[in-house]
């Protein structure tokens, strides 16, 4: 998650940088158009204008690429958030199941203890009965 956030921040910074560069290039183009037209500038202007146009196109292409990459990262982030939500829900269900099983185990242990006690009481009762029978037979 931190990696995607870092990439998103990098993309934003790059986008801002490219936007500033594009604005700067457009300003340069505007400034070039304001230069008094003389013979030298008349010859240099088309070449500068062409270079500026190419640079602007490159910047716009890079910006479009970054926007596409940003969309892809946002889709991945959304998918990860859904997966995280699903995992959280499963974890909560497992915790509830564990709690229920622990309660059941405690109840079973209590019942088991009660049965052992009753069994012991029955055994004591049988021993007492055998002793009584034995005593009765002696007399």
pLDDT for 2-48, tens place per residue? 777 888 888 888 888 888 888 888 888 777 666 655 545 555 566 67
pLDDT of residue 56: 86
CA distance 25 to 85: 45
> How far apart, in whole angstroms, are the C-alpha atoms of residue 20 and residue 15?
9
The answer to whether the CB of 15 falls within 8 A of the CB of 66 is yes
Quote the distance between the C-alpha of residue 107 and its chain's center.
39
Q: What is the model's pLDDT at position 138?
A: 81
| Percent of the chain's residues with pLDDT above 90 | 44
CB 92 within 8 A of CB 30: no
What are the residue ranges spanned by the domains of the chain? 2-138
Element (H, E) at 19: helix 2-34
Cα separation of 52 and 57, whole Å? 8
């Amino acid at each position: 998650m931190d990696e995607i956030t870092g990439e998103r921040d990098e993309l934003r910074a790059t986008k801002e940088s490219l936007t500033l560069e594009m604005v700067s290039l457009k300003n340069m183009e505007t400034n070039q158009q304001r230069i008094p037209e003389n013979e030298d500038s008349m010859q240099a202007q088309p070449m500068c204008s062409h270079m500026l146009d190419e640079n602007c196109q490159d910047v716009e292409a890079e910006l479009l690429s970054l926007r596409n990459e940003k969309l892809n990262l946002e889709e991945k982030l959304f998918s990860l958030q859904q997966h995280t939500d699903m995992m959280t829900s499963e974890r909560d269900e497992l915790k509830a199941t564990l709690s229920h099983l622990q309660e059941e185990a405690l109840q079973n242990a209590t019942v088991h203890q009660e049965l052992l006690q009753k069994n012991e009481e029955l055994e004591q009762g049988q021993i007492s009965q055998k002793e009584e029978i034995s005593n009765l037979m002696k007399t």
